[in-house]
Amino acid sequence: MADLSQLVKAYDVRGVVPDQWDESLSELFGAAFAQVTAASAIVIGHDMRPSSPGLARAFARGAAARGVDVTEIGLCSTDELYFASGSMDLPGAMFTASHNPAQYNGIKMCRAGATPVGQDTGLADIRALVEEWSQTGAPVITADGSDVAVTAGAIVRRDVLADYAAHLRGLVDLTEIRPLKVVVDAGNGMGGHTVPTVFKGLPLDLIPMYFELDGTFPNHEANPLDPKNIVDLQAKVREVHADLGVAFDGDADRCFIVDERGEPVAPSAITALVAARELAKHPGGTIIHNLITSWSVPEVVREHGGVPVRTRVGHSFIKGEMAAAGAIFGGEHSAHYYFRDFWNADTGMLAALHVLAALGGQDGTLSDLVAQYDRYAASGEINSTVEDQPGRTAAVRAAYADRTDVELDELDGLTVTARDWWFNLRASNTEPLLRLNVEARDAATVAKVRDEVLAIVRG
C-alpha cells in the first residue's frame, strides 16, 4: 500500500514516480475525485514531464469509470487548466510537480470555477477513499442500486490554448504600448508552450530561452526564485540590451521579473505595481497580501485608495480571502499572483502582461518604474534546519516578548514588528526547517535583526 501521508500534501498530491505513486494509484485518485466532487464532468491537463501523460490518462479512466465525462486539454500550464475549469465551470485536475526535479509528479485539483481543493476542502476525503480502495479496489458504481454498472463517461480532447490567450489579452490592453525587447526563460517548462500564443502579434521583440518542452530540465531547475536558476536570463538580458526578462517556473503559474540591468525585481514590488493598476480599474477595491510581502504593498494600496488585507502564506488562504472579501487582486512573496478576473486563481502570465503594459505605457526603464514600489531592504527567505521547530520558535518569542518597542503576532508563525523593521519566522509544513524573512528601512538594520534571530534559531 502506498504511503499517502508522504504523497498527499496540504494543497496537492506530490511525490516520486514510480517509487511513491504510479498510474494505478492515479486511477484511484481519479475515481475518488469524481466521487468527492460529485461532478458529472471534469477537465484534465498535464505538463511536459515524461510521466504526466500516462498519469493524466489513468486519472481520466478512473473518473470515467464512475460515469463522469472527461475533457482532456493535454499539454497546458497550470493557469491554463484553471482557465478551463473557470470558463467551462468544471472541476479540474492538473498533473505537474511545478518546479520539483524530473522524477517527481503531482496533481493540483480544483472544483468548478477553479476553486482550490485542499485538506479542508476535499483533499482529505479523496485521500481516505484512495487509502481504502488501494486495499479493496474501487467499488462498482450503479445508477439505481441494481447490479448494473453506470455507463462509463466519455473522454474527449479539446485544445483551449487560443481561448486562454484571448481571455488574458482581453484583461490587459497591450496594443498601444511602445515596442519592447523581452527575454523569456521558460526553463524547458510550460511557458515554452503558452508564451508564443499569448505574445503573438504584440509589439514585443521576443528572445526565447529554453522553450523546448523537456521534463528532465536539461538547462536548470525550473524554479526562478532560486538565484542560480536566473543567471542565464540575467546574462542574456544584459547581452541583448533587453528592456526586461521574464522567467517562468515548470508549470508556468509563477513568473519572476528581472529589469534592464539584469537585476531581480522583488515579487513584492510586482505585487504593488499590479495592485496599483488593478485599483485604477476598480477604485476602492480590496487587495490581499500575505504577511511576508513588503511594507510597500499595503502602503501602495492605501495610496491608491484601496483596502489592504493581510493573510497567511499559502494559496488556499489567499484564494479564501479573495473570495470572502471580494478582492480584486492578491500577491505573495513567492511570485504567485491572483486575480478576481481569473476566478481568483493564480496566473503568472497575467502578472507578466501587466508588467509589460506598465513598462510599455511610459518611456522610462523598468528599474525606474519599480523604484516607487520597492522601498525597503529585505533579507530574502533564509532557511535553517531545525529539528525542534516549536522550541526554537518559542525561544525567539521569549527573547522579544518583554520588549516595549515591538509588537508580536502569530497569524502565521511568529511576526515581530518594530518601528523600523519586522521579521517573520515560520515552520515549513513538509521539512524540518524554520524560514526567516526580515525587512527594514536600511540594509544595516536588516543584517542586525537577521543575525540576532539566527543566533537564537541556530543556537
Contact 43, 81 (CB under 8 A): yes
Q: In this structure, what DSSP letter does residue 119 have?
A: G
Beta strands at 377-378 and 382-385: parallel, antiparallel or unpaired: unpaired
Q: Which of 77, 98, 268, 379 is catalytic?
A: 98
Other CB atoms within a 10 A radius of the CB of residue 230 amount to 23
Per-residue burial over 177-189, b = 16 or more CB atoms within 10 Å of its CB, e = otherwise? beebbbbbbbbbb
Nearest C-alpha neighbor of 124 from the set 24, 32, 42, 59: 32
H/E stretch holding 38? none
Nearest C-alpha neighbor of 42 from the set 62, 25, 28: 62
Q: In this structure, what DSSP letter does residue 217 have?
A: -
Q: Is 428 a catalytic residue?
A: no
Other CB atoms within a 10 A radius of the CB of residue 159 amount to 12
Calpha distance 23→29 (Å, rounded): 10
Determine the 3-state secondary structure of 246 from DSSP. strand
Calpha distance 181→366 (Å, rounded): 12
* Catalytic residue set: 98
